[in-house]
Amino acid sequence: MKNKVLLLTWSALITVVLLASLSFARQGTGLIGNVFSDFNDFSWQLDEFYDIVGPTKLNSIDVEEAKKNITVSDDEIERHRYRYGTLADQLSNIHDQYAQRIADAKDAGNELLMNTLIEERDMKLADIRKNFESDAHVEAKIRKEKEKALVQYLNDVKANSFSLPVAYEFTDVETGETYSSGDVSVPAVYKKQFNAAKGYFKANSLPGHNGTNGWIRTSDYGNQAASEDIQITTSVKTFEGTVIVPKSAVAKGGVLYSQYKDFNKGRLATYVFWLLGIIALITLLTVMKFQKEWVTGTAIADWYADLKIDLKAAAFFMTALILVGYIDSKSSNLSNFFTYQSLGRWGEWLTSFLIGGVVMTTLFAFQLVNGVERWKREGVLAKDIKNSFTLQFFKALREMFLKRSIGVQSFILLIGFFLAGIGFIGGFIDGIFLMIYAFCVLFLGLPALYIFVRRSAYLNRIIVATEQMASGRLNEDIKIEGRSPLADHAKNLNNLREGVRISMTEQAKSERLKTELITNVSHDLRTPLTSIITYTDLLKDENITSEERAKYVDILDKKSQRLKTLIEDLFEVSKMASGNLELNKQRVDLTQLLQQALAEHANQISESGLDFRTTIPEEMLIAHVDGQRWWRVLDNLIVNAVKYSLPGTRVYVTLRKVGDSAEFVVKNITKFELSENVDELFERFKRADTSRHTDGSGLGLAIAQSIVDMHQGNMKIELDGDLFKVTVTVPTK
């Protein structure tokens, strides 16, 4: 938890340093030493003033003079004339528009309305005919529309007002005429002079045209049916003078007071943030130096290490992209944020700071450090690349062409479907694409589809035949068609069918072994149980002596322990077979564990008359195993050697390290003759003593085998006449 807090704190400091440094690089020179008049909002309002003071006050256009300069071209006349179609089309449309209305008025007996509609219709018809008879008539109508739009536009220009409380005094350099508003001699928060030395003020007659001829569209001013352009001749006049914004405007209660206050607040807050960036940088270089332990050795680091390198690269790229985007976005308008503060903006800023800044910086550091630490280990980077999705994809792509015909056909189909989608969309764009698309569909797509359907049908027949084989119906071969890879697959499945038939013999053998297993279990459980019942009945006799009673009780105890051992072993084997047994792996010294196991059975070994020869390493041999379970393996193998070795012979026990594994070997001469089939010795309740007179359960090797398998080890039995050898290996890493 402490490491997490330290990492998040470090990430927050890094984010502050990045935001402050980039903000200073972008805005430092522009913000330090600036005054209110350099403020963005103020500058925009000044630009607005300079743009419209010319058209509205200093150099306005005369409306009547502008009307005289309106022109109408022959193209405009033609477009207006045929705006709604040919003469016949327009006359027909008007007749259709009024026919039903006139008929309704006549049916209603409203003669006045009927005559009015007829008169209105005839006027429109006459106007349409005149449009096609006289260019002058059409020109007059267009001119009237343009004059209306022009008047509206110029009135809109003159109606513009200044949002700033500006005082100005301008003198026309050519005429000497003076234009003024307000007092330019009062104290000012902004003041600019125009003269020969500092540059004259150029007043345009239209906003934003800088002396070039302007154009307006009649459609923007009520004439939606036409969109003819009106050219307006503009002019530029030269002025000298003074423009000010009085200080009273930024005083408390002034028009610009809130903007002035916001500007000073934003500038001060930005300075404070830059100072915080310096403090954060000093902190990072002194008391908060990054420690890689903050991001390594955690549970999430182990989970992250198992991810494919492709996913890591994509996550790293996305994290860096989001972090860079956040820093770039927030640093560019930091002063603007501090200028216009609100609770909602603070919430949004803090949220983005935590997610886009702190979290992304944390993830970036986590991925970078864990990646570097992992790939510093020799061979790990190459292994990660080898196991990546990208290489697996290319490997799969290569394996797609193991059967070249299938790979080529699949690739062609994929490309074909892709191009078909493009062609289908292209058909809506241009008719020529539709023709090409139709040709490709008829002569390429449909034949490919035919082949694909036939192959798919054959594949389905093979799948159905395979399902029949799986259900046990092995009488019919799969029909082989042609020389395709599917035909080869069908041939292989037929061979597999023969293999399944052969395996039926093995299955019969398995049933036999199962029967033997049940018989052996019944025998081994019934024998001690019968003894327990018999001696219990004997104990009920009141006439037996105390010596006999003690003897019977001792026999009962032995038989009970024997029955208990059988049942416990049976339950343990069942647990292992069902996978319900859990291992508690720890660092275990196998050398010490073997020494303890031999010491545990020292008396049995001594009484057996066997000569145990042990070879054990002097140093520790460490492996990650479940000590209790591994003790059971050693115990079972040693007990097995004691019980089933020929008396007077030698037993060799060896423990050594072989590569990255520990190897445990037991060799002895068997007391009983063994079958050459080694696998039978791993079967449950299988014993070397076929008469089953010894005390073994027949589960020892089966239990040992299961435990070794659970440790990803290996257990092997070798027979050479009466020489019996068991070799157990387990990884030490």
For residues 154 and 64, give the distance between their C-alpha atoms in angstroms, rounded to a whole number.
Answer: 11
How large is the average pLDDT for residues 527-552? 80
Q: What is the pLDDT of residue 479?
A: 74
Q: What is the pLDDT of residue 529?
A: 79
Confidence label for 688 from pLDDT (cuts 50, 70 and 90): very low
What are the structural domain ranges in the chain?
2-33+256-389, 36-249, 400-470, 582-731
Please state which of the ranges 180-194, 302-316, 524-538, 716-730 shows the lowest mean pLDDT.
524-538
The DSSP-derived string for 281-313 is HHHHHTTT---GGGTSSSHHHHHHHTS-HHHHH
Mean pLDDT of the chain: 79
Q: What is the pLDDT of residue 492?
A: 75
> Does pLDDT of 679 surpass 60?
no
Q: What is the pLDDT of residue 661?
A: 92
Q: Is the model more confident about 617 or about 338?
A: 617
How large is the average pLDDT for residues 687-704? 54
Residues 637 and 704: beta-carbon distance below 8 Å = yes
> Does pLDDT of 560 surpass 90?
no
Q: What is the pLDDT of residue 169?
A: 93
> Does pLDDT of 37 surpass 90?
no
Q: Which residue has the tokens 């340093």?
A: 17
**Angle at CA of residue 355, ends 350 and 358, nearest 5°:** 90
Residues in Cβ contact with 598 at an 8 Å cutoff, skipping those fewer than 6 apart: 605, 612, 614, 638, 653
Residues 273 and 23: beta-carbon distance below 8 Å = yes
The pLDDT tens digits for 623-632 are: 999 888 888 8
Q: Is the model more confident about 252 or about 508?
A: 252
Q: What is the pLDDT of residue 649?
A: 93
Q: What is the pLDDT of residue 407?
A: 62
Query: How many of the other CB atoms lie within 10 Å of CB of 226?
Result: 17
For residues 190 and 184, give the distance between their C-alpha atoms in angstroms, rounded to a whole number.
Answer: 11
Tokens matching residue 102 = 């006139």
3-state secondary structure of 662: strand
Please state which of the ranges 463-467, 510-514, 682-686 shows the lowest mean pLDDT.
682-686
Q: Is the model more confident about 344 or about 587?
A: 587
Of the candidates 582, 559, 705, 574, the one whose C-alpha atom is nearest the C-alpha of residue 640 is 705
Across 229-238, 376-385, 551-560, the highest mean pLDDT is recorded for: 376-385
Percent of the chain scored above 90 by pLDDT? Answer: 17
> Does pLDDT of 345 surpass 90?
no
Start-end of H helices in 219-288: 257-285
Q: Is the model more confident about 454 or about 347?
A: 347
Residues in Cβ contact with 521 at an 8 Å cutoff, skipping those fewer than 6 apart: 570, 684, 685
Query: Nearest 5°: phi and psi at 724?
Result: -110, 125
Across 67-81, 212-226, 689-703, the highest mean pLDDT is recorded for: 67-81
Q: Is the model more confident about 419 or about 594?
A: 594
Please state which of the ranges 74-83, 380-389, 403-412, 465-474 shows the lowest mean pLDDT.
403-412
For residues 466 and 478, give the distance between their C-alpha atoms in angstroms, rounded to a whole number.
Answer: 9
The DSSP-derived string for 380-396 is HHHHHHHTSHHHHHHHH
The pLDDT tens digits for 126-182 are: 999 998 999 999 888 888 888 888 888 777 777 777 777 889 999 999 999 999 988
Q: Is the model more confident about 163 or about 241?
A: 241
> Does pLDDT of 360 surpass 60?
yes
Q: What is the pLDDT of residue 199?
A: 93
Q: Is the model more confident about 207 or about 509?
A: 207
> Does pLDDT of 622 surpass 80?
yes
HEC profile of 588-620? EEHHHHHHHHHHHCHHHHHHHCCEEEEECCCCC
Q: Is the model more confident about 302 or about 527?
A: 302
The pLDDT tens digits for 59-89 are: 888 788 778 878 888 888 888 889 889 999 9
Alpha carbon separation from 159 to 45, 152, 179, 180 (Å, rounded):
17, 10, 18, 18
Q: What is the pLDDT of residue 273?
A: 86
> Does pLDDT of 509 surpass 50?
yes
Q: What is the pLDDT of residue 379?
A: 84
Query: How many of the other CB atoms lie within 10 Å of CB of 635?
Result: 17
Tokens matching residue 470 = 């799986």
Q: What is the pLDDT of residue 403?
A: 61
Q: What is the pLDDT of residue 684?
A: 40
HEC profile of 678-730? HHHHHCCCCCCCCCCCCCCCCCHHHHHHHHHHHCCCEEEEEEECCEEEEEEEE
For residues 319 and 11, give the distance between their C-alpha atoms in angstroms, rounded to a whole number.
Answer: 14
For residues 601 and 637, give the distance between their C-alpha atoms in angstroms, rounded to a whole number.
Answer: 12
Residues in Cβ contact with 652 at an 8 Å cutoff, skipping those fewer than 6 apart: 613, 615, 665, 666, 667, 668
How large is the average pLDDT for residues 366-378? 84
Q: What is the pLDDT of residue 225?
A: 42
Provide the residue count of the chain.
Answer: 733
Residues 626 and 666: beta-carbon distance below 8 Å = no
Percent of the chain scored above 70 by pLDDT? Answer: 77
Q: What is the pLDDT of residue 428?
A: 63
> Does pLDDT of 525 surpass 80?
no
Residues 208 and 234: beta-carbon distance below 8 Å = no
Q: Is the model more confident about 425 or about 244?
A: 244
> Does pLDDT of 14 surpass 80?
yes
Q: What is the pLDDT of residue 675?
A: 64
Kindly compute the dihedral angle of the four CA atoms of residues 316, 320, 323, 328, in this order, to the nearest 10 degrees. -170
The pLDDT tens digits for 541-553 are: 778 888 888 887 8
CATH superfamily, domain 582-731, is Histidine kinase-like ATPase, C-terminal domain (3.30.565.10)
